[in-house]
Structure formats: C-alpha cells, structure tokens
Structure 1
Amino acid sequence: MVQCNPDAAPLVERMNADHRTIEPAIAPVEEAARDLRADHPGSGEALGAALSRLSEVLLPHLEREEREMMTLVPTSITDAQWRAWDQEFSIEPKGMQQLGKEGTGSSTVSTTPRAITSCTSCRPYRVSSCCASWTFDIRHRHDFAALWKGTDAAPIPSQPIPKAA
C-alpha cells in the first residue's frame, strides 16, 4: 500500500509496530490456556490476566485498523490489486477446511514485504453461507466442543456476536 500511497507510510509503520507488541502477548494466553486445561492451580486467574494484557494491545490496534487503515485501502490500491493480494495471502495458502473454519469473514495480518498491504483486515472470503454452513458447521462445532471439553465453558452454547449499533 505504501508503494501506491506514500502518505500511508506512518500508519503502516504504526500498525507493524503494533504487531510487534501483539505477538509476544499471545504466548502467555496460549500458555495460560494450556495450564487451565491441565487444571493447574491459579490458571484461571493467569488466563484472565493474560487476556487482559492481550486486550490492552490488540483492541486499540483493531480499532485503528478498522477506522484508519481500512479507510485508506480503497483510495490506495485498485480492486484488482486487492483481489490479487487476498487470493495470494488469504485463500491460496489455506485448505477448504481452514477456510470453512474461518467462515465468511476472516482477519488476516501479513508482514511479508510482498504483500500489497502490510496490515489490513482481509476482505471476507465469500462462500455461499448455505454451502459453508452445511459443509463445515458440524465439524466446526465438534472442533469447538473438543477445545472447551472439560472446562467451565463447555456447557455454554455459542452465541452470535451482536453487531455494534
């Protein structure tokens, strides 16, 4: 994107700096989740603290991405460039099962120099919702059931995330 819109360089650098802050905040969440699954004492509190730390760096980044970065994309790159980037980095590297797990919308971050945008939310990969639901829904539910099995969250039914007003 910077090649097409040099004025975006400070924002792209800020987004990449965010990534360097977010990445190390993920490992403590994963570790605490493993500890919780293994029923280690204090693991629930550790997971809560790790999620709070991750939220502190991730949520402002996501807001900046939506409010600032995504407003630049349509004026910085062509639709053809966007589709080529999306195909190369969001679709081709993934199998159908992975695309199905991601559903009709995904967020992908790329820091590779070949990417047209250094940081952006990908355009949703559209599959007929009927086809996606029918093909992937059962497997997806099984994956999440296995993920939460044996935890306090296991009996909680999945709920759709409400749209912001």
Structure 2
Amino acid sequence: MKRILCCALFAIASCTIASAQERGEMYIGGILGVSTHSFNGDDTSISDTYFQLAPEFGIFVRDNLRVGGKIDYSLAPLIGRTTHTVAIGPNIAYYLRICDRIYYVPEVGLGFAYASYDKMSGVGFVSEFRLGAFEYRHSEKWSFSLNLMSLDYTTLSFSKEKVTSNEVNFQLGISPTVGIKFYF
C-alpha cells in the first residue's frame, strides 16, 4: 500500500512540472566553482586554487526558447600571480526535452571581457558554445544544470606602458560545471 501511495504522489508531483519552460517564465541562478590543481616534480611542488562565480538571469521569450545574461568572474593563479577576469554578456538557449524532468540545453553566448594580471589590464570579447549542457527540473521552482562540454573563444588585448599584446584562446574540452536555478 505504501508503494502505491508513493508512486501516486510521485506521479502527481511530476505532472505539476510538465509545463516547464513556458513563455514569460523567468529565473535567476548561476555557478559557484572552486577547483584545485597540483603538480609534483623532482624538485618542484605547485598547488593552485581556481575560483569562479557566474550569476545569471533568463526569461523565456517563447516556449523552450530562453534569452538571458550573465556576469562571469574568475580568479586564477598564473606563474605566482593572480589573474582576475570578468565577462558580461547575453546568451540564448533552446530546451529540448529528453524525458519528464531532463532537458538538453545547447546555448550560445557572447560578451565583453576585462582581465587584469600583474599591473596590466586587458579588454576584449568572449564567445561560448555550450554543447553538452543539461538541466534537471527538480521541482516547479528549482532546477540543476550540468555542462559537460563547451567550445570557448576569447580574445584580449593587454597594454602596459607602451607595450600591447593580443591573447587568443580557443578551447574545446570536457570541463564540467554544475549550477542551480530558481524559477519565478
């Protein structure tokens, strides 16, 4: 009897979120990430900690089509000094339903980037293609996101005194991130 009651409650709860990602629905959320890297060699031992904070806001302009924006801040050690990077810009995503609560969410984002490193600062642009993004809609108000693979392109121009340099990063790789979203 308890199994039948639990199954019935689970079925009712699932029906309440079946109308997720409708036009006009909004959310706030983001990513908070911390990772550590270490290297041990013959005479060298290096350990670094990376930090990322990326709050975002989105609204569904059509069923399953979301536009939004985010601010991405990261702090990373680089050769004994700290690099601060801020990127801000819009993004667009389409929600493809895999099963009852799980969605495949490919996303494209563009933005303006600012970075500082060792008394130098640089400006440029960033683009991101989230090719392995998924979302699990836990309830009507809460969801969890997982990005398994992305394609990123960043270009920055640094200047110090009379020296200007350009940095271009092109990355396709597996770099999982986990986020949380609150829908209202």
TM range (shorter): under 0.3
Structure with greater strand percent = 2
Q: Normalization by structure 2: what TM-score? A: 0.19
Q: Normalization by structure 1: what TM-score? A: 0.20
With CA pairs under 8 Å and 6+ residues apart, which has the higher RCO, 1 or 2? 1
Q: Bigger radius of gyration, 1 or 2? A: 2
